[in-house]
Amino acid sequence: MDSPLLEKEPSHTLLTANRRQAARLQYDDDREQQAAGNRLWQTPDILPWEAWLRRLWDELLVCSTAQHPRLLNAQQERLLWEQVIQDSPLTPDLLQPTATAQRAQEAWRLLHAYQQTVPVADDWPNLDVRTFAAWAAAYHQRCETQNWLDAAGLPAYLTARIESGDLLLPESVTLRGFDELTPAQRALLDAAERCGCSVQISPDVPGESHAVCLACEDNEQELECAARWTRALLERGDVGRIGIVVHDLGALRAAVARHFDDVLDPAALLPGATRQPLYNISLGQPLSQYPIVAAALNLMNLGAELGALDVERLGGLLRSPFLGGGESEKISRARLDALVRESGEPTISINRLLFHVEEGGGNAPALAAALREWRSQRYEQPYKLGAAAWAEAFAASLRCVGWPRGRALDSAEYQTVEAWRDVVGQLAALDEVAGLLGYRQAVNKLRQLADETLFQPRTPELPVQILGLLEAEGLRFDHLWVVGWHDEVWPAAPHPHPLLPVSLQRRCQMPHSSAARELSFAEGVTERLLHAAPHIVVSWPGRDGDRTLRPSPRIQ
């Protein structure tokens, strides 16, 4: 008998290459329904590819009576790779096990996406390839022993379940905005078609466009010009959607924000001014860089140094408005910070800090009470706990110092706190893989998770969208400026994955494997972007330091 969940399976699903495109298509449909005067309408089923796979997995667990493996999340996978690498006799003195684990995880996912087996160690003279092959064998063995399934193996597992009839699919699936499909994706879609699901790939219909090229002196002038162009469009009014696509947005994010803030909303720099955002940057910042999360992490780090607290981090905590009493005691806590610094000690103990608060003129009773309770909790914690127990202990430590209730939170800060709680939940989820951890190990893992979590508070629909190349996939604009297309980055130079045989990567046409592969990819993306808006500006910097740059040959 079909389950109630499967009876509600939508008849048509639209799959997108990324979450931003799915959100934009959903927004466009809502606007069209409202413009047509409709008050109620059926929400279309629009999902990014990864979310669709996860939904299929959830439905499989609900409707199938068979036993299925446990699906690991990305953090559990990474930790398992770290353990395999650290336990390997081939890598006793590895300096960066976390970064190496990330590269191994990438290589493993590439192999599965292109339906390739792990290279046999003895077949390759390359030491890195042989070492990865040994790691991969150990990783696979642990997953088999524990009955674990990772994200790399999920498409193949779902493909098998579709072919066996364990999953009920929609009547039709349409893909939109995909520059290319991996063999694993094609295999899953082929299996869906064989089971009666109609699969279509919606072609990008090129629109009429007019593009101009602009040479700038450097990146700074390029961003300044793009910001002023954007302001001129906004002042004209009713210009629709404005897109700014920035090559290497991650490296230029701070410069982009600085220029667009200065040009679009200069009044926000005045004391007491309220910022009125006009643009959204698609790439978030690491969660650990947000002040409200930095305060929480600093407290956790200080707990690892009960004997001696770093004065700089302590000062940041004392001045934080997010601890209990942060607003009412902000002046006395600032005086306390100055008092501690005047002592000339690079570090200070909790007991010494409490002396300053209670008897040295600090005059911050709420802080004193919170520190006493925090110290008591920290001393009572065992030497080692499971990841879930540490997550609970960290949450209790933050509650006892009143985090984040120092003052009323705005919408962005509230969303940041929710993202932090998700990260603490990710730490708890490591319990099954991690085993027992010491306090410092748990804190380091928590900081690592916060560093790796890119977060951007949700904002209302804004007229200006600043995106990276991949985030712009499948989107259309009324005006578009493409930043940074010079000859050294577009097409990109090939850089095959260091842990996989280069010949294998080139034979399978894996990303970044060869100059021909990069050229083909760049041509496809260029063609799409140069038809993504009626009015387009493409710019490049003329120099980077002492190096002279030329425009990309794709746009000459």
* pLDDT, tens digit (0-9, with 9 covering 90-100), for 90-148: 766 666 778 899 999 999 999 999 999 887 766 666 788 888 999 999 999 999 999 99
- Asked if the bond preceding 404 is cis, omega within 30° of 0, the reply is yes
Helices (H) and strands (E) in the chain, counts: 21, 20
Identity at 271, one-letter amino acid code: P
Lookup result for tokens 């999953």:
167
What pLDDT is stored for residue 3 in this prediction? 38
Evaluate whether 551 touches 540 at the Cβ level (below 8 Å). Answer: yes
Which residues of the chain fall below pLDDT 50? 1-8
What pLDDT is stored for residue 8 in this prediction? 45
Phi and psi (nearest 5°) for 458? -70, 140
What pLDDT is stored for residue 499 in this prediction? 92
Within 8 A by CB and 6+ apart from 412, the residues are 457
* Closest C-alpha to 340, from 359, 363, 365, 357: 357
For residue 310 the two structure tokens come to: 């770093």
What pLDDT is stored for residue 383 in this prediction? 87
Task: Give dist(CA 370, CA 59) in Å, integer.
Answer: 46
The three-class DSSP label of residue 437 is strand
Lookup result for tokens 């068979």:
66
Task: Give dist(CA 548, CA 332) in Å, integer.
Answer: 54
Instruction: State the helix-helix crossing angle for 154-163 and 49-63, rounded to 10 degrees.
Output: 50
Task: Give dist(CA 378, CA 382) in Å, integer.
Answer: 9
Within 8 A by CB and 6+ apart from 424, the residues are 391, 394, 395, 446
Task: Give dist(CA 477, CA 24) in Å, integer.
Answer: 11
Q: Say how far residue 426 (Cα) sits from the centre of its chain.
A: 14
For residue 156 the two structure tokens come to: 């193949």
Evaluate whether 21 touches 50 at the Cβ level (below 8 Å). Answer: no
Lookup result for tokens 């999340």:
73
Task: Give dist(CA 192, CA 310) in Å, integer.
Answer: 58
What pLDDT is stored for residue 391 in this prediction? 94
The Cβ of residue 313 has, within 10 Å, a number of other Cβ atoms equal to: 18
- Asked if the bond preceding 321 is cis, omega within 30° of 0, the reply is no
Q: In the sheet where 12-16 sits, what is the strand order? A: 46-48, 12-16, 172-176, 198-202
Task: Give dist(CA 353, CA 374) in Å, integer.
Answer: 13
Alpha-helical regions (H) of 265-364: 291-303, 311-318, 330-342, 350-358
Task: Give dist(CA 253, CA 259) in Å, integer.
Answer: 10
What pLDDT is stored for residue 316 in this prediction? 83
The Cβ of residue 90 has, within 10 Å, a number of other Cβ atoms equal to: 13
Evaluate whether 370 touches 401 at the Cβ level (below 8 Å). Answer: yes
What pLDDT is stored for residue 6 in this prediction? 38
Evaluate whether 329 touches 322 at the Cβ level (below 8 Å). Answer: no
Task: Give dist(CA 275, CA 321) in Å, integer.
Answer: 19
Phi and psi (nearest 5°) for 216? -120, 165
Per-residue pLDDT tens digits for 149-168: 999 999 999 999 999 988 88
